Homo-oligomer: A and B are copies of this chain.
Amino acid sequence: MKCRKCDHKAVINMPQHKLALCKEHYLEWIPEQTQRFIEKYHMFGKADRVLVAVSGGKDSLSLWDILSRLGYQVDGLYIGLGIDEGIGYSAESQRLAEQFAAQHALKLHVVSIPEKYGETIPAMAGRTLRGHDKPCAVCGMAKRHIMNRAAREGGYDVLVTGHNLDDEAAVLFANTMNWLPGYLVRQSPVLEANRPGLVRKAKPLCRLYEREMAAYALLRGIEYIYEECPYSIGSKSLYYKEILDRMEADRPGAKLSFYLTFLQAKENGLFAPGADVEAESIHTCPSCGQPTSAPGLCAFCRTVIKPDQLELIDVH
């Protein structure tokens, strides 16, 4: 198969786009597409200071690569979770994030949860009901908190994450199978900073398939951590990805169509303005100043603050 843009041999065929490209044109095409989505969804501009959350995986490192090539002012944030599980998962992913930053002379902030809060994520999860089964809920909450905090404290205009189409479609699928109004109404390529203490968020890769991002990282020679987080095995999210993978195999483009028709329906006013009930009762955590759904400490502060430190905080 030949490249659509030149006579060279294609390295990737994307039936969902009816497009095959050679290495050179593929490495051009992905940033072009990313730029298109950044503009289409009004994510950020060249004057904005962008912070990219980097996990050491293919999506976030590729996103950092793409944004810096496109000429954005983009620094990285690595959050050390303290996940070892016999494979040195966090150590290796940090090494790869730092290596990428050094190779490209980019600035990387590192926040180590064990150093800053005295506990690894699995240990923190072990103490709480949220992490009863798996540490994923606590981990997600902690990452959201720290990403938001780092972006605010660093004076960044927008925080970006490497969520790809497969991630977004799986989240949408999960939220749809359970009809969770709040999550459905809020899922978007851009989350505005519409609550006090919240930073603006964007997902520039939300329309690119996981497979496309893996091909980009490979062809660009980005070294990334191949392993998925050991705790992700058997997760609901991977389960929904498998179901969507089957539908994609049966009908190329199924995931993209599912995601895009959702965005379109939402833009056309499918959801009632009041459907996001949660958004209407937002409080501010007296400890960290981030938004929370109930009065008092937010879930993150409740989790990380030891009982003997609680009295130091003026909780209303």
Contacts and interface: CB of A to CB of B under 8 A. Distances in A.
B269 A274 contact: yes
Contacts of A181: 265, 268, 270
Contacts of A87: none
Identical copies in the complex = 2
Contacts of A268: 181, 275
A254 interface: yes
Contacts of A274: 269
A178 B270 contact: no
Contacts of A271: 270-272, 275
A246 interface: yes
A258 interface: yes
Contacts of A177: 247, 254, 257-258
B270 A179 contact: yes
A28 B89 CA distance: 57
Nearest to A247: B243
Contacts of A250: 239
A275 B264 CA distance: 12
Given A177-B258, A179-B261, A179-B262, A269 B272 contact: yes
Nearest to A236: B251
Interface string A163-179: 00000000000001111
A297 interface: no
A140 interface: no
Contacts of A264: 179
Contacts of A178: 257-258, 261
Nearest to A277: B268
A222 B265 CA distance: 44
A291 B275 CA distance: 31
A273 interface: yes
Contacts of A180: 261, 265
B275 A269 contact: yes
A140 B275 CA distance: 33
A243 to B, nearest CB: 7
Closest 6 CB pairs of A and B: A179-B261, A179-B265, A272-B272, A181-B270, A270-B275, A179-B262
8 contacts: A177-B247, A177-B254, A178-B257, A179-B262, A180-B265, A185-B270, A243-B243, A272-B272
